[in-house]
Amino acid sequence: MDITAPPSKRARKSPFLDEDITGIRAILSDEFDEDIALIKAHSCQLETKQQLQAVIQELSQKLPHFQHLKRVQDRSVLICPSSELGISQSLEQHLEQFAFSEHVLRALCQGVRVVEVPERMPRLRVQYEKTLKHWPCKFHPNHYSESLRNGSNFSSAQRTFHKRMGQLLVRLSRDVNANRPVGICVDPRQPSIVSIAGTGEVCKPHEHCCMMLVDFVARSQEGGATQTEVIFTEDAKGETTLRGIPKAYYDYLMNNEDCKDLTFGAEKARECKEANPVQGADNLAKFGPYLCTGYDVYLLQEPCLMCSMALVHSRAKRVFFVKNSDNGALATRFQLHSVRELNHHYEVFQFTAEENEDLT
């Protein structure tokens, strides 16, 4: 991961007006998004199909390359990556060290040519179809990954709600927070707004919008470190709390007719929580709120590395953002959510000014 790298081609023109937010796209890691690189490989052309069985049997024992590829196409057989041959070494010289039986060695040296083959297995059908032009490869389609790519992972009601939150970020920033960044955290089960936070006029690193948002979620769970004006209202049953929502945002939303149908409040932390709840929305239902477990986070600006890590630590379920940031850690500079070594992974989506295709 190179944080000094220039912003990648992923940075697209961001929507700036609330009405510009018309679509949502998943930010998938490069292994889903990029065309699969090709590598050079030596292949041979068998004279008869009868040679095939013996050739494949010995090849798979002595040169077990290309697990992701079909080894044979018509009568062409993949032998090894061309990079394995020594400088100015012929294929025959290279193969001598593997003690092939004589008739197999002879077959492998017939009609030798260099072909280009995919370097790894494709993750999405669109990548798979491109690789077919070069050499047939194996492919295990993953329905969920495909749905993230084509947008069918959301129902139209879910999509409408997410876009509404995106539009709300733009409005809250403009109307309440002097065009500075704003974030909203939502419990998607209701859905209900758990916390809202914005960057202040003077912004220390721990006061980035996203850090404040996470802190306000903690406040809804009787934690939190920041002092700002809060509303201490509970619902009639005392099951939800508005401690994560500063008064200025709450008043603005309450005074806007088109926000009257929104639900506010976080489920209160349960007293008797089992130790070590693990990630996922199911645990939110089972154990009650724990940091941002099961919660969706909406941000006006793509978060920086520190804020993106804070969302990992707090176990956010999904992160949506509107605008790319020069130091953004989810799309512009790199994709923190695709780092396998991390112990928690959230999904990342960006609002776009392009409408999603109608998939119904």
Q: What residues line the site for Zn ion (CB under 5 A)?
A: 208, 304, 307
Beta carbon of residue 285, minimum distance to Zn ion (angstroms, whole number): 30
* Whole-number Å distance between alpha carbons of 53 and 237: 73
Q: Any idea which residue has 């196409």 for tokens?
A: 73
Q: CB neighbours (10 Å) of residue 263? A: 12
Q: 208 or 337, CB closer to Zn ion?
A: 208
Q: Based on CB atoms, which residue is closest to Zn ion, 163 or 208? A: 208
Closest approach, Cβ 329 to Zn ion, in A, equals 8
CA separation, residue 165 to residues 108, 283, 299, 328 (Å): 61, 24, 9, 20
CB of 339 vs Zn ion, minimal distance in Å? 17
Residue in this structure with the two tokens 């119904």, named with its chain if needed = 360
Q: In the complex with Zn ion, which residue's Cβ is closer, 208 or 219?
A: 208
The Cα–Cα gap between 291 and 314 comes to 5
Amino acid at 261: D
Taking the complex as a whole, the smallest distance from the CB of residue 302 to Zn ion amounts, in Å, to 9
Q: In angstroms, give the least distance from the CB of 307 to Zn ion.
A: 3
Q: Which amino acid is at 156?
A: S
55 SS3 class? helix
Q: How far is the CB of 209 from Zn ion (least distance, A)?
A: 7
The full length of the chain comes to 360
Using alpha carbons, select from 172, 192, 168, 190 the residue that is nearest to residue 180: 172
Judged by beta carbon, residue 168 or residue 304, the one nearer Zn ion is 304
Give 21 or 197: the residue with its C-beta nearer to Zn ion.
197
Q: Of 208 and 318, which has the nearer Cβ to Zn ion?
A: 208
Nearer to Zn ion, 95 or 307 (CB): 307
For residues 193 and 187, give the distance between their C-alpha atoms in angstroms, rounded to a whole number: 6
Q: How far is the CB of 130 from Zn ion (least distance, A)?
A: 36
Minimum gap (Å) between residue 256 Cβ and Zn ion: 28
Query: 196 to each of 42, 95, 176, how far by Cα in Å?
Result: 59, 66, 12
Which residue, 162 or 208, is less far from Zn ion as judged by CB?
208
328/308 Cα distance (integer angstroms):
9
- Tokens 């297995």 sit at which residue? 121
Residue identified by tokens 């154990």 is 287
Alpha-carbon distance of 167 to 193, in angstroms, equals 14
CA torsion 262→268→273→275, rounded to 10°? 70
